[in-house]
A = this chain, B = another copy of it.
Amino acid sequence: MNEPKSLFLTDNSLGIATDLYQLTMAAGYFEQKMQDIATFELSIRHLPKNRSYLVTAGLEQALHYLTHITFSPEAIEFLRRLPIFSQVSQKFFEYLRNFAFSGRVYAMPEGTIAFADEPLLRVTAPIIETQIVETYLLSTINFQTSIATKASRVVYAALGREVIDFGTRRAHGPQAGVLAARACYIGGCKGTSNVFSACELDIPAMGTIAHSWIMAFENEQDSFCKFHEIFPDNTTLLIDTYDTLAGARHAAMIGKKLKGIRIDSGNLSELSRKVRKILDTEGLHHVKIIASGDLNENRIDNLLRNDAPIDSFGVGTEMVTSKDAPALGGVYKLVEQEHNGKSIPRMKFSEDKLTYPCKKQVYRTIDKAGNFVEDVIGLEGENLQGIPLLIPVIKNGEMCYDLPTIHEIQHTTSNNLAHLPEPFKRLTDAETYPVTKSQGLEAKRHEAEKILRDINIP
């Protein structure tokens, strides 16, 4: 009988955790003896609908990847047997056997607020290396940035009430649930239901009980009492298994030691009000009401506009899949190449997909209060005002960056968002934050485009 496969990625499999064409091109560069130093930049081409900024996330896992990527003997053997590699020389596979990333990387620290077209990450290395790492970097940064951004919107809507990530069951596989928990925390959540994430990341593990607990006992009251017996100081009860208001009354029987109740269905606005009344009538003013069930930033916003007396929100599916915008259009483009000691700007300009050449930097202007005024995407080293957002994180293949803790990253996010003026972050009809390209960059683009058009378009 065959053993079922987990398909888990491991450090050992990082080399081939990429698209085939990266390795085909790598072999091609190798055989062509092309040892040019290339620079690629990762950016998000357009912000999706309902997003007016990005909260960058995923850098730590990207750094893990870049400092651990290798090709196992099994992986190399697999590649060697692929028909497409049949005419590739043995030396290429020897090269892979000794492969390590040797380049340098600049990136925006996690929790930075970014916008469309801004490079979030810049990789400079021998062209083979820059090429191979594209897929993994995109997937890592795209996903966590997408979820941290979504989470920040949910947290914004909750007006200071706590938001908890309850999403693993609906994430794109158990591993995505783990990464989503991290990104949600970066976006401002108070904790996660995901125990592995809580353990690995040292963030609060949170949760209540499920309907099955209630259903597993003869009646609701009994199930509540039994739970309270075991968890006298942590009794938060789910009250909507059979009838929410009856459930509230049953929960209230626990008395002063009751900590919270959760409502997971129905009209949350109306039910939370009625439940609050039941609790208050019993003198249980301290008991917290937790709401859950297909929540997102708009529903939370509506609930709070209706003064629903909810103290905390458990948010799942919508947050961990960024359901209204489940993918970011992240791209990773060659922008510059050092060939025979000369630096050549690189770009493409097929109809709908223009890219800008040269190593870039993002310069953010802030006012005296620290509020964001505008960003300029300029050339690296260009004499421009503003704070440069990309900082060195890897040099000669080694980390040169003191990783912040996840708590520090969360703080970075909230601090940054506090300085993004209201019109640019409101949930709907947000204004477009001003991002322009520097004159220096535009000039380089025109120059490079003219040369490339003359050469390539007869």
Chain A interface residues (CB < 8 Å from chain B): 1-11, 13, 16-25, 27-29, 31-32, 34, 36, 38, 40, 60-61, 63-65, 67-68, 74-75, 78-79, 82-84, 86-88, 127, 131, 134-136, 138-140, 142-144, 166, 168-180, 182, 193-201, 205-216, 218-220, 226-227, 229-234, 240-244, 246, 249-250, 264-266, 317, 321-323, 326-330, 332-334, 337, 346-353, 399, 401-403, 452-453, 455-458
Contacts and interface: CB of A to CB of B under 8 A. Distances in A.
Nearest to A176: B172
30 contacts: A4-B399, A5-B61, A6-B65, A7-B179, A8-B11, A17-B177, A19-B195, A20-B206, A21-B193, A21-B208, A23-B195, A28-B226, A31-B229, A31-B230, A32-B230, A38-B216, A75-B195, A75-B199, A84-B234, A131-B210, A138-B169, A139-B170, A143-B171, A211-B333, A211-B350, A212-B333, A219-B456, A242-B350, A266-B351, A323-B327
Contacts of A246: 456-458
Contact of A64 (B6, B17, B28, B127): B6
B20 A193 contact: yes
A182 B61 contact: no
B197 A7 contact: yes
Nearest to A16: B195
Given A4-B61, A17-B174, A139-B168, 12 more contacts: A7-B179, A8-B11, A16-B196, A18-B195, A24-B231, A28-B230, A83-B233, A131-B210, A216-B337, A219-B456, A242-B348, A323-B326
A166 B178 CA distance: 24
A7 B209 CA distance: 26
A403 to B, nearest CB: 4
A198 B20 contact: yes
A330 B170 contact: yes
Given A6-B61, A139-B173, A353 B178 contact: no
B242 A19 contact: no
Given A215-B334, A242-B350, A456 B175 contact: no
Nearest to A212: B334
A432 to B, nearest CB: 22
A402 B455 CA distance: 59
Q: How many copies does the complex hold?
A: 2
A346 B216 contact: yes
B19 A216 contact: no
B175 A9 contact: yes
Contacts of A61: 4-7
B208 A178 contact: no
Contacts of A264: 350, 353
A25 B213 contact: yes
Contact of A83 (B211, B234, B243, B250): B234
B7 A178 contact: yes
A4 B403 contact: yes
Contact of A32 (B2, B139, B226, B317): B226
B330 A169 contact: yes
A167 B243 CA distance: 44
B169 A139 contact: yes
Contacts of A350: 211, 240-244, 264-266
Contact of A16 (B19, B199, B212, B456): B199
Contact of A210 (B21, B64, B86): B21
Contact of A211 (B20, B205, B334, B352): B334
B67 A205 contact: no
Contacts of A171: 139, 143, 172
Counting from the closest, the 9 A-B pairs by CB-CB distance are A172-B172, A21-B207, A20-B207, A326-B326, A175-B175, A138-B169, A4-B64, A19-B193, A16-B195
Contacts of A18: 168, 194-196
Given A213-B28, A219-B456, A5 B200 contact: yes
A315 to B, nearest CB: 13
A366 to B, nearest CB: 28
Contacts of A3: 64
A216 B3 CA distance: 44
Given A172-B176, A174-B140, A179-B7, A216 B21 contact: no
A146 to B, nearest CB: 8
